[in-house]
Amino acid sequence: VGPILLGVNVDHVATLRQARGTNYPDPLSAALLAEQSGADSITIHLREDRRHIVDQDVELMVKSIQSRVNLEMAVTDEMLSIACDIKPSDCCLVPERRAEL
């Protein structure tokens, strides 16, 4: 058994940004801080409605994070296209709505 790895999800940082209606706190800044503090990967969830994380967040994460970026996404043509274009380290396919469980 290998070492336990730490993945940090920064979605709630984006939730705060959206709730405040500002450009802060910045999910990328939080992700970089987590990475500098020892995180092995960063997880973000790009929803179809762009409720919290937006396309620009995903693009900046993939370009800026040195460790792995795990993109959580729905199984739709649009999301699959984004993943193929941006090329995160990992993708996790998740239901968008409870009815999809």
Residue 75, both tokens: 């199984």
- pLDDT for 25 equals 98
3-state secondary structure of 7: strand
Average pLDDT over residues 6-35: 98
User: Is residue 65 classed exposed, middle or buried when 0-12, 13-18 and 19+ CB atoms within 10 A define those classes?
Assistant: buried
Q: Which tokens is 9 given?
A: 């999800």
User: Starting at the edge strand that comes first in sequence, how are the strands of the sheet with 90-93 ordered?
Assistant: 7-9, 41-45, 68-73, 90-93
Q: For residue range 50-75, what is the model confidence (pLDDT) as tens digits?
A: 999 999 999 999 999 999 999 999 99
pLDDT at 100 over 70: no
What is the rounded CA–CA span in Å between residue 40 and residue 34? 9
Mean pLDDT score of the chain:
96
Q: How confident is the model at residue 101 (pLDDT cuts 50, 70, 90)?
A: low
